A and B are shown apart, each in its own frame.
Chain A
Amino acid sequence: MTPRQPGRMTARAALAGLAAALPAVACLAQQDGRQDGRLSGSAFMSAETREMQADDAANPGMLSVLDGEALWSRKEGAAGRACADCHSDAATSMRGVAARFPAFDAARNAPVNLDQRINICRAEKQGAAPFAWESPEILALSAYVGLQSRGLPITAGEDPRLAPFIERGRGFYSLRQGQLDLACASCHDDNWGRLLGSSPIPQAHPTGYPIYRLEWQGMGSLQRRLRNCLAGVRAEPFAYGAPEYVELELFLMTRAHGMVMETPAVRP
């Protein structure tokens, strides 16, 4: 036995204290070992919730994915066409697609997110009425399309035409708003890993949307989550589909560029 070295013991005690203060961070490093310091929301979850997400028989988001799979081949609208009639097998045609949304839409000269893209397809190709925001159908289809990108890196924001919209999203992210006068960045850049109430603040990388959120006991889109945050800082949320949300989604996806897609993710 070497004699006790007070200096080393102090350092060890300090490390233990740090680990206790930042449990989420400690488990993240083990989990995906990223070098650039960016952490998915799943890194801040309990081991039980991570297990639930990883097991397709326990992940409740998979129920929505199954609904989406059925919708994919259901004939819809005046054209009587199903998604599968044009796109055939989603496993090949939709591979990596969700990872690059929101994408630039030339006809609208603006970015559209995946939900909007699905409804554009419904209106223009199927002659069907759009699905309502947050309806089980739109969440199911986007979860099913999203699943085809699971495990692939996020590639959103690479189109140069998106640059001005990304900048607007970045501006919104840093804009202090609401009665609490907080910007997204105040929590998710400056204070991530610390606790808000009893919940760790994640880095706000939208890696797994649409998600099954345990608090909601159901599926929800990134816009639903953004509305939550806006209401949380006592700001007035925009209506679903507002350009501000799409630009912010685009900025967040660009910020998470290269991170791995987890759709359908489970979040606490």
Chain B
Amino acid sequence: MARTLINIPKQTRRGEVIEIKTLIAHPMETGFRPLANGSLAPRDIINRLVCTYNGEEVFRADLFPAITANPYVAFTTVATESGEIALSWTDDRGQTQTETVAIKVE
């Protein structure tokens, strides 16, 4: 499991625009870096980040090899109801890591 840092306001008012800030530890190996023996390090990047809010997709991003290691992605959504915000990162090996954060909307 990779380390993540997620910043979502725990409590907010209905209709408020909230910012979701995410950071995940990942080498984001581009696939273009030569190793000591001359072969290329195989590409291993996070290629997709999906955010769902109570099961409904509110944000999706495709990531590419030029994106830094430990990618930081911040975006906004509108707080509609109390529930769960889930963030899923998928890498080139097909592994998906999902982190969920509870949000309270009044």
Contacts and interface: CB of A to CB of B under 8 A. Distances in A.
A57 B3 CA distance: 12
A58 B23 contact: yes
A256 interface: no
Interface in A199-237: 214, 217-218
Interface residues of B, number: 13
Contact of B70 (A57, A60, A67): A60
Contacts of A47: none
A91 interface: no
Given A57-B5, A57-B6, A57-B7, A63 B25 contact: yes
Query: Interface size bucket, A side?
Result: 10 to 19
B29 to A, nearest CB: 11
A67 B7 CA distance: 18
B21 interface: yes
A212 B6 CA distance: 18
Interface of B: 3, 5-7, 21, 23, 25, 28, 68-70, 72, 74
Query: Which 3 A-B pairs give the minimum distances between C-beta atoms?
Result: A57-B7, A217-B69, A60-B70
Interface of A: 52, 55-58, 60, 62-63, 66-67, 214, 217-218
